[in-house]
Amino acid sequence: MKQKINEEKYLTSLGLANLKEELNHLRDVERKEMAERLKQAISFGDLSENAAYHEAKEAQGFLEGKILELERIIRSARIIKETNQKDYVEIGSKILLLLDDQEMQLEIVGPNEANPLKGKISGESPLGQAILRKRKGESGEIKIGDNKTKYKILEIQ
């Protein structure tokens, strides 16, 4: 699914701060390192057959692409406010979920902050979509790949 250019990006204030910090690092540190790397590669001579130069130019392209992507995300960021809403699951909710007989603490975040290993799942993920707008005590089943997984919302914090 292709993403719209002006589509809002849901981020927590911490997630936005982390992206800004990463952007500043890329601009202030990595760009300078890349310029030095290019300067070094150019000093090797004939650019048409200079593998170090071509590699550095390609890396520079990736770096600039990452900078542009972070700038776009930051421009379109919509801050997820910590919610006092305890009636149903929404972006920003922290929940206690029973997933196939295993309790899990999860936070529902935007896709740019999702990190399942840290308990942050995107509201756009299959599980996120299944539990959004659900209330405490509701349960259901979700198909992930070839497996069906049962869930129950134990708590909304």
According to the model, what pLDDT value does residue 10 have?
83
| Distance in angstroms (rounded) separating the CA atoms of residues 140 and 131 | 9
Final residue before a domain boundary, out of 79, 103, 129: 79
Query: How many structural domains comprise the chain?
Result: 2
In-domain check, residue 111: yes
Confidence of residue 3 (pLDDT cuts 50, 70, 90): very low
In-domain check, residue 88: no
Residue range(s) defining the domain that contains residue 113: 94-156
The CATH number of residue 35's host domain is 1.10.287.180
| Distance in angstroms (rounded) separating the CA atoms of residues 70 and 56 | 21
In-domain check, residue 89: no
User: Is the same domain home to 71 and 23?
Assistant: yes
Render pLDDT for 58-117 as a digit per residue (tens, 0 to 9): 999 999 999 999 999 999 988 887 666 678 998 889 999 999 889 999 999 988 889 999
Q: Compare 61 and 1 and report the one with higher pLDDT.
A: 61
Confidence of residue 5 (pLDDT cuts 50, 70, 90): very low
Render pLDDT for 141-156 as a digit per residue (tens, 0 to 9): 998 788 899 999 999 9
In-domain check, residue 85: no
User: Is the same domain home to 17 and 72?
Assistant: yes
In-domain check, residue 35: yes
The residues, any chain, with a CB within 8 Å of residue 86's CB and separated by 6 or more, are 136, 156, 157
In-domain check, residue 86: no
According to the model, what pLDDT value does residue 106 have?
95
pTM metric for this prediction: 0.69
